[in-house]
Amino acid sequence: MIAYDENLGVLYPSISGTQGGGAAIASAYGIPAFPTHIIIAPDHTIIEQDIWPVSSPNDFIVPLENAGCEAHECGSSTMSADFEADMTDPCAGNSVTYTNSSSGDITTYSWVFEGGNPATSDLENPVVSYETPGNYDVTLTVSNDTEQDENIMEEYISVLDLTASFEVDEDDICDTESVEFTSSVTCSEELQWTFEGGEPATSNEANPTVTYNTAGTYSVTLTAINGDNEVEVIEESYITVHNCTGIGSLALDKMRISPNPGDGNFQVDLPKAGDFEVQVYDIAGHIVYTTTLTSESNNLNISNLTDGVYVISLNNGITQFKERVVIK
């Protein structure tokens, strides 16, 4: 009890101490009678003033728990290793900041970063960079002179690579038409497009719209950049442009053909019924198919024709309709 008094700084001798002093304690803490038990915190505040008689351990456990004390089995660890990262999917070359959230009386930290730089650390909250794409483990061990705890997070970090690809809403068009490009990239800080034969000829937008005014076959290039790293994607002969100038201007907006582009099985809607002679022309101006339509809503099946651009002309001797369609 003397050691207890000295370690916790008790101002009065314990009532059971070899030096006596029970009266001073009784006076200081207002103990009403003897025998009794009193629970006093290290800061000398009274947790429970008068415990008597003692019927079970709960007479002491309950007031201690109410005061915020936690019970631990003898020999059990009160230390727990835990952490989190500000990001778990960094791009190659980026850094990750780790924040320690361990509990317990910790004096040392030991980190192991698979694939990271540095590979190990004894800092509480280290910063680690990753240069190579892949999935990596992170291990934290916390300890003091008597105990330790380890936490291994398998494949906790997924380092991403710089990648780039793109697609277009239509790659077979008539001159003067526009197409919309859509990029798909990871870890890119900057994009650079080059459109052979297109207007504009270059762009740094994610999803640019490009117009092609001259017939031909054209390449498209996309470059994704991240610092000193870059990935280039080139699609040769990607856009095919046909000489369709004048065809669109001949078409009246009284006829609807859908779906367009389509597989060749088209729905043709006319403003009124009648006997319409149908002629289908290829891009060179040759008639490749003829038939007759009589209803306002008609099915026109030319799926036997090869993929490409065609002109459908309807004429009843009074009214003529023309529309460009694409089979793909």
Token output for 19: 């030096």
The Cα–Cα gap between 204 and 120 comes to: 40
Q: Contact 51/58 with Cβ under 8 angstroms?
A: no
The Cα–Cα gap between 260 and 127 comes to: 55
Q: What's the predicted TM-score (pTM) here?
A: 0.53
The Cα–Cα gap between 179 and 62 comes to: 75
CATH of domain 163-242: 2.60.40.10
Class of the CATH-defined domain 248-327? mainly beta
pLDDT at 2: 54
Name the DSSP letter for residue 204: -
DSSP secondary structure letters along 183-244: EEEES-SEEEEEETTEESSEE--SS-EEEE-S-EEEEEEEEEEETTEEEEEEEEEEEEEE--
H or E element at residue 29: helix 22-29
Q: Other CB atoms closer than 10 Å to residue 138's CB: what's the count? A: 23
Contacts of 67 (CB under 8 A, 6+ apart): 39, 41, 47
| Domains of the chain by residue range | 2-66, 83-159, 163-242, 248-327
pLDDT at 315: 87
Q: Can you count the helices (H) and strands (E) in the chain?
A: 4, 26
The Cα–Cα gap between 265 and 275 comes to: 20
pLDDT at 238: 93
Q: How far is CA 117 from CA 53, 125, 129, 130, 315, in A?
A: 63, 14, 5, 6, 75
Report the first-to-last Cα separation within the chain, whole angstroms. Answer: 94
CATH of domain 83-159: 2.60.40.10
- The percent helix, strand, coil of the chain (3-state, each to 5) is 10, 50, 45
Chain centroid to CA 201: 32
pLDDT along the chain (328 residues), means of 10: 54 52 63 72 76 76 80 64 97 96 95 98 98 97 94 97 94 87 96 97 97 93 93 94 56 72 91 88 88 91 92 85 87
pLDDT at 247: 43
Among 301, 244, 303, CA closest to 268: 301
DSSP secondary structure letters along 264-317: SEEEEE-SS---EEEEEE-TTS-EEEEEEE-SSEEEEE-TTSPSEEEEEEEE-S
H or E element at residue 58: helix 58-66
pLDDT at 72: 56
Residues in the chain: 328
Q: Which residues on neighbouring strands pair with residue 149, listed in sequence order?
A: 142
Token output for 23: 């009266």
